[in-house]
């Protein structure tokens, strides 16, 4: 199984510096769970194309508002959209959370898992 390399190509978006490493951790965790070794001499490219992260203020407001108007918690979301280059073919991948208790960290790790499954197919 190839290792994963994460590139950022989403214009002027501000991707949190820990996101590429969290994607890599999710990828490695999925490989370990499947009992597959990652080969460091091969890499699969994942390019972040779109990135949306709720700020602390938005997250706080949606958490508080969700107690009074539950659907309001689902208005904003943390989301990453990316393209994986798998065997010379571009595969679009995306993941998001609308639940305000999960943040971009969870999204990044889940996207890493999805990347592994895209390569494993």
pLDDT tens for each residue of 74-90: 667 899 999 999 888 99
Give the mean pLDDT of 18-42: 96
Residue 77 confidence (pLDDT) = 87
Check which CATH number belongs to the domain holding 30 and give it. Answer: 3.40.50
Of 8-12, 58-62, 89-93, least confident by mean pLDDT is 58-62
HSE-CB at 86 with a 13 A cutoff on CA atoms is: 15
The confidence band for 52, taking pLDDT boundaries of 50, 70 and 90, is very high
| Residue 81 to residue 95: CA distance in whole angstroms | 7
Q: Which DSSP category does 121 fall into?
A: -
CA distance 48 to 78: 14
Asked if residue 55 has pLDDT above 90, the reply is no
Task: Region of 87 please: left (phi>0), alpha (psi -120 to 50) or beta.
Answer: left
Q: What is the pLDDT of residue 18?
A: 96
What is the domain count for the chain? 1
Q: What is the mean pLDDT of residues 106-117?
A: 97
Kindly state the average pLDDT of the residues 26-46.
95
Sign of torsion, CA 101 107 108 110? positive
Angle at 22 between CA 19 and CA 27, to 5 degrees: 130
pLDDT (mean) for 46-72: 80
Q: What is the pLDDT of residue 46?
A: 98
- Name the residue range of residue 16's domain: 2-120
What residues contact 9, with CB distance under 8 A and at least 6 apart? 47, 48, 49
């Amino acid at each position: 199984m190839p290792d994963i390399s994460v590139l950022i190509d989403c214009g002027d978006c501000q991707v949190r510096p820990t996101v590429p490493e969290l994607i890599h951790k999710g990828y490695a965790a999925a490989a370990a769970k499947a009992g597959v070794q990652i080969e460091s001499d091969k890499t699969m490219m994942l390019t972040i194309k779109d990135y949306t992260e709720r700020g602390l203020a938005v997250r706080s407001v949606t958490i508080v508002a969700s107690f009074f108007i539950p659907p309001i918690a689902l208005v904003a979301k943390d989301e990453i959209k990316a393209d994986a280059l798998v065997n010379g073919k571009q595969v679009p991948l995306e993941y998001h959370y609308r639940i305000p208790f999960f943040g971009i960290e969870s999204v990044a790790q889940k996207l890493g898992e999805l990347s592994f499954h895209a390569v494993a197919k």
